């Protein structure tokens, strides 16, 4: 299991720019591979499952990454994480993002288990699109927080049946988390209504976050009105509703 190998996309440090853990200082491990094609995807280059190389923003190498070969074992990956922690810690947590991390379930299990054994006080946040096979119960105790995206057709460009999300969210009683719905100026009230109901029904203890898609202008009168109506509808249904934009992109940081 320790020799489980996986495909990485990049490793860097920054501050969490989305969701309920906004602003926390984290190490970001982006895994390669995602079968989806969201219109707003800002990590398209990381979608191929078998990326030949990955980018390591080594603390001593400045802003230019070192390019290293894939695949990498879970132990080696935790060695790289340890290098960062020793040189530039402390960090609140490790954020595992993608791509879609749950497309490499065995590697994810090995990686989180070894990381938690070495760094029991560090928390782990997992970002997922919620459209993969259900996360293994073996992740219990390793993942502290799960940020689940709900895909709305108006923003991502393709339709997803909510049945999949129902199964996924109802299986997550063992972790804390938040649910994010990316919204665009063309998002519809009925989509928000359905997403807010889903979140309230299956994870009422989690924040339900509307995340305005970055790069669209929201300051026209018309779009402000859309935002207002979507937020109003979400809160009518789900008392955990709030709006949080991608703060790292507003700040121009990674
Ligand atoms: S699920 Fe995430 S990584 Fe995959 S295409 Fe959508 S935004 Fe990109």
The CA 40 to ligand 1 mean position distance, Å, reads 8
With a cut of 80, say whether residue 216 has pLDDT above it. Answer: no
Output the residue whose Cα is nearest ligand 1's atom 8.
41
Residue nearest to atom 6 of ligand 1 (CA): 38
- Report pLDDT digits (tens) over 229-251: 999 999 999 999 999 999 998 88
Distance CA 208, CA 199 (A): 7
Contact 214, 245 (CB under 8 A): yes
Atom of ligand 1 nearest to the CA of 131: 1
Between CA 53 and CA 32 the distance in angstroms is: 10
pLDDT above 70 covers a percentage of the chain that reads: 99
Strands (E), the chain: 5-6, 8-15, 25-31, 53-56, 66-69, 72-73, 93-97, 123-128, 145-150, 176-183, 207-212, 241-243
pLDDT in tens, 146-200: 999 999 999 999 999 899 999 999 999 999 999 999 999 999 999 999 999 999 9
Give me the pLDDT at residue 124, please.
98
Alpha carbon of 94 to ligand 1 centroid (Å): 19
Angstrom CA distances, 239 to 48, 137, 175, 210, 232, stand at: 38, 29, 20, 13, 11
Residue 11, pLDDT > 80, answer yes
In 3D space, the residue among 109, 92, 158 whose CA is nearest the CA of residue 129 turns out to be: 158
Query: Which residue from 36, 150, 215 has its CB within 8 A of the most atoms of ligand 1, so it is best to mutate?
Result: 36
pLDDT band, residue 142 (cuts 50/70/90)? very high
Pocket of ligand 1 (CB under 6 A): 34, 36-38, 41, 43, 47, 98-100, 129
pLDDT of residue 214: 85
Nearest C-alpha to atom 7 of ligand 1 is from which residue? 41
Task: Name residue, tokens 């749950």.
Answer: 102
Q: Which tens digits make up the pLDDT trace of 78-114?
A: 999 999 999 999 999 999 999 999 999 999 999 999 9
CA 24 vs. chain centroid, Å, equals: 14
Report CA Rg, the chain. 18
pLDDT at residue 154, rounded to an integer? 93
Check residue 2 and give its pLDDT.
66
For the chain, the farthest-separated pair of C-alpha atoms sits apart, in whole angstroms, at 55
Q: What is the 3-state secondary structure (H, E, C) of 239-253?
A: CCEEECCCHHHHHCC
Give me the chain's average pLDDT, please.
95
Confidence of residue 133 (pLDDT cuts 50, 70, 90): confident
For the 5-251 domain, the top CATH level (class) is alpha beta
Domain boundaries along the sequence of the chain? 5-251
Nearest CA-CA partner of 85 in 32, 125, 29, 128: 29
Q: How confident is the model at residue 1 (pLDDT cuts 50, 70, 90)?
A: low
Cβ–Cβ under 8 Å, residues 29 and 14: no
Q: Which residues contact 41 (CB under 8 A, 6 or more apart)?
A: 34, 47
Phi-psi sector, 35: left (phi>0), alpha (psi -120 to 50), beta: alpha
Average pLDDT over residues 41-70: 94
Structure token pair of residue 65: 């990454």
pLDDT of residue 102: 96
Number of Cβ within a 10 Å radius of residue 14: 15
Torsion, CA 151, CA 154, CA 157, CA 160, rounded to 10: 40
Atom of ligand 1 nearest to the CA of 149: 1
Mean per-residue pLDDT, 128-156 = 92
């Amino acid at each position: 299991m320790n020799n489980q190998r996986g495909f990485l996309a990049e490793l860097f440090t920054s501050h969490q720019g989305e969701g309920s853990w906004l602003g926390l200082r984290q190490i970001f491990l982006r895994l390669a591979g995602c079968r989806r094609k969201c219109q707003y995807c800002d990590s398209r280059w990381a979608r191929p499952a078998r990326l030949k190389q990955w980018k390591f923003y080594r603390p001593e190498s400045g802003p230019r990454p070192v390019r290293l070969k894939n695949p990498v074992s879970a132990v080696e990956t935790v060695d790289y994480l340890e290098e960062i922690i020793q040189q530039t810690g402390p960090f609140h947590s490790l954020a595992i993002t993608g791509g879609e991390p749950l497309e490499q379930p065995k590697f994810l299990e090995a990686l989180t288990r070894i990381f938690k054994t070495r760094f029991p006080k560090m928390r782990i946040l997992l970002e997922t699109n919620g459209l993969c096979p259900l996360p293994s119960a073996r992740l219990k105790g390793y993942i502290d927080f799960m940020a689940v995206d709900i895909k709305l057709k108006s923003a991502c460009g393709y339709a997803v049946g909510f049945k999949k999300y129902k199964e996924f969210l109802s299986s997550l009683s063992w972790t804390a988390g938040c649910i994010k719905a990316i919204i665009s100026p063309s998002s519809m009230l009925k989509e928000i209504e359905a997403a807010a109901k889903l979140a309230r029904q299956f994870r009422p203890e989690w924040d339900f976050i509307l995340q305005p898609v970055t790069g669209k202008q929201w300051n026209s009168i018309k779009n402000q009105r859309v935002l207002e109506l979507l937020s109003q509808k979400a809160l009518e249904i789900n008392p955990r509703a709030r709006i949080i934009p991608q703060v790292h992109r507003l700040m121009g940081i990674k």
